[in-house]
Amino acid sequence: MKKSNVTFIAAVLISLHVLAFMLFLGSKEGKADKQSPPTNPAAPSAPAPEPAPSAGFEMPELQVAVPELAEQKLEIVPVEVVEMPKAAPREAIAHPRNIKGYLRSDRSNRRTSKTYSSLVGNPYQGAIVIDARTGKILHEDRAAVYAYPASVTKMMTMLIVLEQIDKGLVRLSDRVKITPEIAGIGGSGVYLDVRESGAFTVEQMLQALMIHSANDAAAALAFHVAGSIDGFVDMMNQKARELGMNSTTYHTPHGLPITAQPDISTAYDIAILSLAALRHPQTLEYTGTKLAWLPTNSLRKEKFMLANRNALVGKEPYPGCDGLKTGYHSKGGYSLAATAKQGNHRVVSVILGVPDRDTRNATTRKLLDKGFQKLKQN
């Protein structure tokens, strides 16, 4: 193709592009004319209004008073440091270890429904001595023979109440209701009257129970915790099974032989119960108290004296003896679960079914002596 022809074609193409571009601009301006409102060319354009002056606002000057530290005088207030009395260390009390030569909780069931006219031996029905720290049996003689523990039963009543307190279900400050059934219980007591409902606390009833061995206090605590005697006895038997007291059956919270079969147990089982009670520090606060008093009220014009029935704590003290519980009724004779601490050693002795009080106390002394002698020899 000749150069002149190429030049001509290029010029034509450029012209066509320019024409198309002009047409495009024209159509766009036409559309804009249709959308914009008509204007009056004669009217002079008004000057844009000046913005209205804003209301006068002045930024307040922030004034912060900064105290001059140099002018301040620091006043030094003396603090009185009071030395608190040190709490007595909690004793380590053994659990059954299920090892030969130690208290065991895995023995087979020997609970019985038999009744006996008398379970009194010579010089006792059964006895056992335990190292409270380890649960080791230091001495035993007919320890698995059945016996009627009488008021030693109250140690289980106390244990149930203390556990309910630990769980927050009962408080020491709770006021105890007195029903006709409670007031009508015989034997050793503090002569509770239905008109004294709410006059005494749980703590005062525990003192009456463990210091004075009051049967009516035992019944009052049973009603307060379980709502009935039968309900509380069920709790006692359940606890006995939990502890491994394989020969024990409870029928009352106090030990009086008012049912067809009195409460029945063995020296071995009572030793297990004694250790369980000792694991509660409050136990010795009650069992180690020689003398306490119930307060007066509208019916009681004088305080009622609570004297410890355990001669080894009170009248004829044994060195270091601070518990635990006595018992007596005609079918079961005299019984005593005792404990004493000498130095770093604590011994528990249990003797059930003794013919008389003096023999019970004298034999308990010998058993405690034997226990401490064995511990000191090791």
303 is in an annotated binding site: no
Question: Does 62 fall in a domain?
Answer: no
Spell out the alpha helix ranges (H) of the chain.
3-35, 154-166, 180-183, 202-210, 215-226, 229-243, 267-278, 282-287, 357-377
For residue 129, name the pLDDT band (cuts at 50, 70, 90).
very high
Domain with 227 in it: what CATH number?
Answer: 3.40.710.10
For residue 32, name the pLDDT band (cuts at 50, 70, 90).
very low
Contact call for residues 353 and 120 (beta carbons, < 8 A)? yes
Q: How far is CA 123 from CA 120, 241, 303, in A?
A: 9, 29, 39
Q: Which domain holds residue 241?
A: 126-377
Question: Does 371 fall in a domain?
Answer: yes
Identify the pLDDT of residue 294.
95
pTM of the model: 0.77
Pick the more confident residue, 204 or 315: 204
Pick the more confident residue, 195 or 37: 195
Identify the pLDDT of residue 7.
61
Which tokens in the block code for residue 306?
């609570």
Identify the pLDDT of residue 21.
61
Question: Does 131 fall in a domain?
Answer: yes
Identify the pLDDT of residue 36.
46
CA–CA gap between residue 119 and residue 2 (Å, rounded)? 148
Question: Does 316 fall in a domain?
Answer: yes
Domains: count for the chain: 1
pLDDT tens by residue, 336-354: 999 999 999 999 999 999 9
Question: Does 69 fall in a domain?
Answer: no
CA–CA gap between residue 152 and residue 345 (Å, rounded)? 23
Question: Does 34 fall in a domain?
Answer: no
Please list the active-site residues: 151, 154, 213
- pLDDT winner (highest mean) among 89-93, 184-188, 246-250: 246-250
CA–CA gap between residue 96 and residue 225 (Å, rounded)? 27
Percent of the chain scoring above 70 in pLDDT: 77
Question: Does 83 fall in a domain?
Answer: no
Question: Does 116 fall in a domain?
Answer: no
pLDDT tens by residue, 3-27: 555 566 666 667 666 666 666 555 5
pLDDT tens by residue, 34-73: 444 444 444 444 444 555 554 554 555 555 455 554 555 5
